[in-house]
Structure 1
Amino acid sequence: MSTDFAILAFFTLMLTYLLICEIFTILFRLTGLTEETARFQVISMLTTCGFTTSESELVISSRKRKKLAFITILFGYIFSVTIVSMIINFFMRLKDENSFLMIVKIIIAIIFLIIIGYSLLKVNFVKNNFDHFISKIGVKVMFRNKHNPIMVLGIFKSEIIAEVSITNIPDELLNKKLKNSYVRSNYNLQILTVIKENRKSEPVTGETILENGDRIIIFGTLKNVKKLFVKEKQFQ
């Protein structure tokens, strides 16, 4: 294996590692974890540290999360072994190459990796489209459209702002205008935004009727959000 190929393979693997980290973070968020908690746990698993801290109880309390954790840790072991092997091979071949040229190639590869990583995490257009694509696949694979996945976007004391992807609309909302659904009075929930399948947001009024395929931004307690949108046995 040439040194150029070793560099290309190594940074391709690192890019794949970054994508895997983002994908599993999104999948864990679909089970109700915040982005911060999901990313921390995924990084812990992929780096073979296991899932750590008291927040690990959130992982083992759900069957779906435990399955995801097993797959994530498996990926972590595979990547760790592969990366170590490639690093050893790379340094064994360094003596046959011009050191200055090698440093330039490595710097270029690192810059490229940083640009891709920054785009995935910070550029809204790229991140939102990537998140939406993975979420759509995750909903079908993990929940088979029988469950309305919840992504926690923010926590405010005892309440949250969450995004709910409606794939199996609750009976309380089926063909009902919001003003007749008693969402606010019975569940103390406030629907802030409705995003239709064309990905355009619509203003929320008492006349709004939710449909399968809609995504909503909602405010209230996680317990009440789950009570309305989640069949607990399916969520677990």
Structure 2
Amino acid sequence: MGTDFAILAFFSFMLTYLLICEIFTILFRLTGLTEETARFQVISMLTNCGFTTIESELITSSRKRRKLAFITILFGYIFSVTIVSMAINFFMRLNDGNSFHLIVKVIMTIIAFIITWYSFLKINFIKNNFDKFISKIGIKTMFKNQHNPIMILEVFKSEVIAEVTITNLPEELYQVQLKNSNIRLNYTLQILTIKKNDDTSVDVTGDTILEEGDKIIIFGSLKNIKKLFIKEKDFS
């Protein structure tokens, strides 16, 4: 019973470790990093691998990223120590005469673990709802409506497709129809889709007026998106 519990605890901890990786990846994406960059940064911090000078500048240049990095590294140390101690405990049990049955149990647990994690990543309903849940918590706790969090969805050389959650509507867009907002003229940005609080999409027309709580999918340069929707002092 003790061996079974040790195996179950070890792989449950590994699953939790991967979930933590996903959570911090989402939170770093809310600070304006792409998913690929955010995931690389999180894995580096959780595994205590460190960064090169250029990579570290992404973290040190932002106050919110520095705080988030500190928490991520702390989780990394805690999980690393726990996983190593569990692994040592497991290998010590290989000498108790039941090595074959123990290895079979481990293989079965690994298969179950892979299926569980693969299902989480591939079932869009589960993954999307998990991302939305963590994003809502991150926006409320990290930003406290100080600015409009930007999550980059795609990168096309110098331009991006991003999702902007409007928590603090810029003054120049307040009660202004899009055709009168000069978003295209002054910022060369194009709003592709608008999602309301209930996740329903609405048509984007010249008469559309943005409201707090809207999520917009926007295309243009990241610099101009930040210039319009983010106050640098709030974003740093």
TM-score, normalized by length of structure 2? Answer: 0.95
Give 2:130's aligned residue. 130
Give 1:192's aligned residue. 192
Unpaired segments ≥5 residues, structure 2? none
Percentage identity across paired residues of the two chains? 75
Separation of aligned partners in 2, 1:52 and 1:195 = 38
Q: How far did 1:162 drift?
A: 0.6
Separation of aligned partners in 2, 1:6 and 1:97 = 16
Separation of aligned partners in 1, 2:235 and 2:11 = 37
What is the one-letter code of the residue matched to 2:216? I
What is the one-letter code of the residue matched to 2:212? N
Separation of aligned partners in 2, 1:97 and 1:31 = 52
TM-score, normalized by length of structure 1? Answer: 0.95
Determine if the alignment matches structure 1 residue 43 to structure 2 residue 23.
no
CA contact (8 A) 1:161 1:220 kept: yes
- SS of equivalent to 2:38: helix
What is the one-letter code of the residue matched to 2:161? I
- Post-superposition CA distance 1:177-235 (Å, at most 9, x none): 21121111111100001111111222211122211111111011111100111011010
CA contact (8 A) 1:41 1:52 kept: no
Give 1:106's aligned residue. 106
The 5 A counterparts of 1:53-202 are 54-96=54-96, 98-202=98-202
Give 2:34's aligned residue. 34
CA contact (8 A) 1:155 1:161 kept: yes
Give runs of ≥4 in structure 1 deviating > 3 Å: none
CA, structure 1 residues 123+97, in 2 after alignment: closer, same or farther (shift >3 Å)? farther
Give 1:10's aligned residue. 10
CA contact (8 A) 1:119 1:127 kept: no
- How large is the RMSD of aligned CA atoms in angstroms? 1.5
Q: How far did 1:95 drift?
A: 2.5
Q: How far did 1:104 drift?
A: 2.7
Q: How far did 1:53 drift?
A: 6.1
Separation of aligned partners in 1, 2:36 and 2:53 = 13
Determine if the alignment matches structure 1 residue 225 to structure 2 residue 204.
no
CA contact (8 A) 1:42 1:51 kept: no
Q: How far did 1:100 drift?
A: 3.2
Unpaired segments ≥5 residues, structure 1? none
Separation of aligned partners in 2, 1:113 and 1:156 = 35
